[in-house]
Structure 1
């Protein structure tokens, strides 16, 4: 309250000073705007005397006499004008009223504009204070357990009977061979896709124990990705620890750099996010999952950091798969023609996604149509491609895995 009172007191004082300066300047302009005709004549006569004296057509003593006489008449005329309240006085009063009215309009407009687009009552936030606040948010942000407790419970991802049976076999195989790295990787990935994050973390932890110093950067980062998915996209201190380990092993790891930027965006340091994401976006490739995720958020991050940035155009074709209208039109064709048309459109969608990646909606669509076409081998290949393309977006990847499971495609 005291800070607000002080702000408005200072603002009012500055406004009063500026208003006084404006009124005085406008008043002086009004005073000289109109001059009585007699006064102008006498001033012109004085100027003419000076010019005649300079040309030598008038003697000095005569010039002095004329100056005195004209000056006397000028003073008398000025006194008469002031006494009668002539045009100069009227203009002065009118100009003063106009000046005061103009200043009041300007001040009222400034107050209205500030109240509309400003932040009345909001405390000052200099850069040093904002950085301190961001540092405090970074140090005191919730732990993994706190974040998970705050995430609303989500229903388990549905799995087809075939996929559920395969998962039971995979769990049994890993339990029988707990040192099998490939089995542990598959188990961690698929448990995470099903939303069984505790089981996924247990499998990935076991994998890292088995690998020891031979653990790859990707295997280290998978721990962070599972933790982030479990926390609903939040990068906790525990997840950050695995990101740091990944970058220590591979400083140029693109996914780790992306997730590090995501963490900085969440704690109020968009400048650091931009510094990580902009070169990563420039490095490409455009179809990389982190590049697609960066394109979604980097413009907002740049604006928050006060950085001028124009998002470059994305490259690559934007072919679409079969729409509902396409499928309806196919119902009027012969069976062979209908099958050929659907295969052609599915092939276009499949080729584009497999080579360039695409949004999660297209991947889900592809899973569905391949399921309708009973193409399990192509479906598994598309799912493997989606695993790579959507690795930066655990929620999207889980949606694709769910669609694949519903279509009967086992990983």
Structure 2
């Protein structure tokens, strides 16, 4: 069976989106998965394997190994790693949805094997906002014949997608392709969605130019005003992970590491499923841990 993987980055780790199950089956251009992976682990995989031996009870170590094996297209080993991770951290939605995806990719005949579906349902029960499980549960609706319902679910996910997210355009293409196959007109509905209007964004070019023309003291005041405005928007929309990352970056730029640390704690509290990505971004920015 042909498989089309669409790469996207989420929660700081590489995961994948299918371009709609019907499209996945029909398109002649595809990436073939190897029948088996028996090579000696390469460097990128060997390091995570060493980490699981050093920290056998650390779910993050097993998650990293699962992702490395997934990228190597060793889906059986990826599944085993994520199964271990979910055993160690059964309340992590991101681990359950990653397990579901590995099970889907490891299935040679069934596009949505029952164990994968069970993993996605577990993830969505833990975190109703988990994008990966939302996507694949919509895939299941499409497989069951509820094409309109699947498209509606993908639209709901698109509305919750931060502007410029790596998977945004792929998700739009999925909607377009599946709607075209099933003769469902989504043109107006798709055009009506303006992600940038739904989530806080940074200053535009005109704002940056205007700020540069101000005296230093006024520039600082303007920056504080914009950061405060972003903070207010995040209180109304705490699920916007990209917004929290922007706030942490802004606080560090303004020389306010303590406030950046407060933002990190608030972001994780509001988005536990995105904790890994938030921690990684915070580390890269130099945000101190509390």
User: Normalising by the residue count of structure 1, what TM-score does the alignment of the two structures yield?
Assistant: 0.38
Question: Whose RCO is larger (CA < 8 A, sep 6+)?
Answer: 2
Larger Rg: 1
| Greater share of strand | 2
User: Normalising by the residue count of structure 2, what TM-score does the alignment of the two structures yield?
Assistant: 0.50
